[in-house]
Amino acid sequence: MKPRDIPNVITFFRFLLVLPVVILLLQDRFAAALVVFGVAGFSDALDGFLAKRFDWRSRLGSLMDPLADKLLLVSCFVTLGWLGWIPVWLVALVILRDLVIVAGAIFYNMRIEQLEAEPTMVSKLNTAAQIFLVLTVIFSLGVRTIPAFWIDILLYSVLATTLWSGIDYVWIWGRRAWGKRGQ
Count other C-beta atoms under 10 Å from residue 149's C-beta.
Answer: 7
Residue 182: what pLDDT?
61
Alpha helices in 83-147 (DSSP H): 88-111, 121-142
For the stretch 5-49, pLDDT in tens is: 999 999 999 999 999 999 999 999 999 999 999 999 999 999 999
**Which amino acid, 51?**
A
Residue 150: what pLDDT?
96
What domains appear along the chain, each with residue ranges and CATH number? Answer: 3-180 (1.20.120.1760)
As a whole number, the mean pLDDT across the chain is: 93
- Closest to 44 (Cα-Cα) out of 66, 24, 29: 66
Note the pTM of the prediction, 2 decimals.
0.91
Identify the sign of the CA torsion 147, 121, 112, 167.
Answer: positive
Whether pLDDT at 154 is above 90: yes
